[in-house]
Chain A
Amino acid sequence: MSSKPVTLNLQQLDFEQIKEIIPQRFPFLMLDRVIEIEPGVRVVGLKNLTGNEWFYQGHFPRKAITPGAMICEAIAQTGIVFFHLSRPGHEDVTYLMGSLKIRFLEPVWPGDQLRIEVMPIKVIANAGILNATVTVEDRVVTKGEFALAAKENGSL
């Protein structure tokens, strides 16, 4: 395998660029890279899970398994990136999840790489219903729909 670093182009976001968009930080940053961007159409993000993730300490001490809540967080953060890139010019915004209908189809383990694809179902100026499909090695492990609202800071 080549040790050459991955070259990021305008259709991708690296970890530092993601941090410019989403406000979450350790231990709640659940997105490592955005690998596909079609503004208003879809965004695909990656999250690499290592056995060192903080939540495996308690979930569970004898058998590490990824909490569904953290997968939902990865979905929400990919949704924020989708929304941000679809609405240029809105920088000072807080994103709130309004609802979530989710189905966990397979367990997710340390060492898995989550591929999170978010696509719009219905998007308006300041909110959207989005569809999310999470895969690990082409197997769908989680899928669902969620609602995200964008609130200009100062309006909260």
Chain B
Amino acid sequence: MSTLNAEQEVKELIADIIEMDPNEIDPNAHLVEDLGMDSMMALEILAALEKRYKIKLPEEELPKITTVNRVIELTKKYVE
């Protein structure tokens, strides 16, 4: 998975959950402080990533996805 693909796909996935334009999402954005997400939305991200890439993400990864960039890193780690 290329860096560009991962970034765009994760931004689209997050945008779908928070109902926002993916182009307005900054990769450095903090999920809670900048995007107004909560813990349930973070769980939705994990579920959406699992569904999209047919992967299994352990619960321990949940507290680590604090920013969009962290979600992108997580995706690359498990998809590649």
The answer to whether the Cβ of A1 comes within 8 Å of any Cβ in the partner chain is no
- What chain A residues lie within 8 Å of B41 (beta carbons)? 98-99
Complex CA gap A120/B58 in Å reads 15
Segment with Cβ contacts to A, from B2-10, B24-32, B43-51, B70-78: B43-51
**Closest residue on chain B to residue A149 by CB atoms:** B40
Q: In the bound complex, what is the Cα–Cα distance between A147 and B39 (angstroms)?
A: 11
Residues of chain A with a CB closer than 8 A to B80's CB? none
Contact at B59–A147, with CB atoms within 8 Å?
no
> A6 contacts the other chain (Cβ, under 8 Å)?
no
Interface string of B10-34 (1 = CB under 8 A from A): 0000000000000000000000000
Q: What 1/0 mask marks residues of chain A from 85 to 128 whose CB sits below 8 Å from any chain B CB?
A: 00000000000001100000000000000000000011011011
With a cutoff of 8 Å between Cβ atoms, the chain B residues found around residue A81 in the complex are none
Check if B59 sits within 8 Å of A124, measured CB to CB: yes
Q: Does A80 contact B (CB under 8 A)?
A: no
Could you give, for residues 126-156 of chain A, a 1 whenever the CB lies within 8 Å of some chain B CB and a 0 otherwise?
Answer: 0111000000000000000001010000000
* Closest partner residue, chain B, to A124 (CB atom): B59
| Nearest-Cβ distance from residue B79 to partner chain A, whole angstroms | 17
Residues on the A chain within 8 Å of B39, using CB: 127, 149
Please give the residue numbers on chain B whose beta carbons come within 8 Å of chain A beta carbons, in ascending order.
38-41, 43-44, 46-47, 50-51, 59, 62
Show 25 A/B contacts (Cβ-Cβ < 8 Å), sorted by A: A98-B38, A98-B40, A99-B40, A99-B41, A99-B44, A121-B47, A121-B50, A121-B51, A122-B43, A122-B46, A122-B47, A124-B43, A124-B59, A125-B59, A127-B39, A127-B40, A127-B43, A128-B43, A129-B43, A129-B44, A129-B47, A147-B40, A147-B43, A147-B44, A149-B40
